[in-house]
């Protein structure tokens, strides 16, 4: 007797399910946990951070600084709102002393001198945030916060990153030559595996798609997803512009939620991190 065939409707649904299955959903919990550990398990470029997971442990107060802030500021504000939603962190924008109009008048006269005043001790850090000051022929303007996003022409970013030679000696040269489109410099509180301060540099005089990628990639990595994985199709942090991705993937958004889940403890690394991440990923995917 002939074996009864599958219902045409069931067969169609099966094919549609295969077509609609996203790359992230096709991965096992173990595979995703391994990828998460590679991205979040170590700071990629820092000379001062210890191994393991690093996250923000206090509210984020961010400033968007530069002559082109009016054009890019709303896009950055939107991405910060996404970071707030995914991480659960308190995240708020901070304005310069004297207001945005005062800042615009000063930036119209050029970048000038740039200075960061950071708290000197852990006790001081508890009550005072870093201050970024710009001074030029137009005057002086200050921002108080712990997450600074600089926007402007590439040569302006070169001038600013020269002040971070001790953290990233090659950064100014690489931005100037076009070897990198954008970058972030993070400072850490090693005692509690926390991110203390972030400085993100976004050149605006390049193709709009690369500006978009820089906003998404550098800001998100400054929340703790710090390493790149060459060629991965699952993440924006693929270190491969040839893939053409410009926005966070489903996996990246999942990983940010995993990173700020209380089951992922600061400083976690190695097998312990993978085991904890697998359990968190499994629970989040079941929701």
Q: Which residues contact 33 (CB under 8 A, 6 or more apart)?
A: 274, 275, 277, 278, 281
Cα 102 to Cα 107: distance, rounded to the nearest angstrom = 9
Q: What angle do CA 232, 238, 244 make, to 5 degrees?
A: 95
Return the residue matching tokens 């993440």: 235
Res 22: pLDDT: 60
DSSP 8-state assignment for residue 199: E
Which has the closest alpha carbon to 266: 192, 213, 203, 207? 192
Straight-line distance from the first to the last Cα atom of the chain, in angstroms, rounded to the nearest whole number: 44
Helix axis angle, 250-259 to 29-40, nearest 10°: 70
- Could you read off the pLDDT of 85-104 as tens digits, one per residue? 999 999 999 989 888 888 88
Between 6 and 178, the more confident residue is 178
Res 202: pLDDT: 93
Could you state, in order of their start, the residue ranges of all structural domains in the chain?
27-45+226-287, 56-223
Give CATH for domain 56-223: 3.50.50
Is the Cα dihedral 98, 100, 106, 112 positive or negative?
A: positive
- Could you read off the pLDDT of 217-256 as tens digits, one per residue? 999 999 999 998 887 889 999 876 667 788 999 999 999 9
Cα 48 to Cα 287: distance, rounded to the nearest angstrom = 38
Q: What angle do CA 87, 92, 98 make, to 5 degrees?
A: 160
**Rg for the chain, CA atoms, rounded:** 21
- Could you read off the pLDDT of 54-72 as tens digits, one per residue? 999 999 999 998 876 778 8
Tokens representing residue 283 in the block: 């629970």
Q: Is the pLDDT of residue 275 over 90?
A: yes
Cα 7 to Cα 12: distance, rounded to the nearest angstrom = 9
Tokens representing residue 21 in the block: 């299955």
Tokens representing residue 280 in the block: 């968190």
Q: What angle do CA 97, 102, 103 make, to 5 degrees?
A: 80
Cα 31 to Cα 12: distance, rounded to the nearest angstrom = 29
CB-based contact 51:37 (threshold 8 Å): no
Task: Please name the helix (run of DSSP H) or strand (run of DSSP E) that holds residue 136, with its range, or none.
Answer: strand 131-136
Res 45: pLDDT: 57
């Amino acid at each position: 007797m002939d074996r009864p065939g599958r219902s045409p409707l069931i067969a169609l649904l099966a094919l549609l399910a295969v077509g609609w299955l996203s790359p992230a959903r096709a991965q096992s919990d173990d595979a995703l946990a391994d990828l998460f550990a590679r991205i979040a398990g170590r700071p990629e470029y820092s000379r001062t951070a210890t191994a393991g997971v690093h996250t923000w442990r206090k509210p984020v107060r961010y400033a968007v600084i530069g002559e082109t802030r009016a054009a890019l500021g709303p896009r950055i504000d939107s991405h910060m709102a996404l970071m707030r939603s995914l991480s659960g962190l308190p995240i708020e924008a901070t304005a310069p002393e004297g207001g945005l109009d005062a800042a615009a008048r000063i930036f119209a006269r050029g970048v000038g001198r740039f200075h960061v005043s950071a708290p000197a001790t852990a006790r001081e850090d508890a009550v005072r945030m870093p201050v970024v000051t710009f001074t030029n022929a137009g005057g002086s303007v200050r921002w108080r916060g712990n997450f600074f996003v600089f926007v402007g022409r590439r040569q302006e970013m070169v001038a600013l990153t020269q002040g971070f030679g001790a953290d990233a000696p090659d950064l100014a040269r690489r931005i100037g030559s076009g070897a990198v489109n954008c970058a972030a410099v993070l400072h850490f509180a090693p005692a509690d595996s926390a991110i203390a301060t972030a400085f993100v540099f976004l050149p605006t005089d390049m193709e709009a798609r690369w500006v978009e990628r820089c906003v998404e990639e550098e800001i998100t990595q400054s929340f703790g997803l710090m390493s790149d994985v060459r060629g991965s199709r699952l993440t924006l942090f693929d270190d491969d512009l040839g893939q053409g991705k410009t926005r966070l993937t489903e996996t990246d958004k999942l990983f940010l939620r995993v990173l700020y889940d209380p089951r992922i403890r600061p400083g976690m690394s190695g097998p312990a991190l993978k085991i904890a991440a697998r359990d968190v990923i499994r629970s989040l995917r079941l929701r």
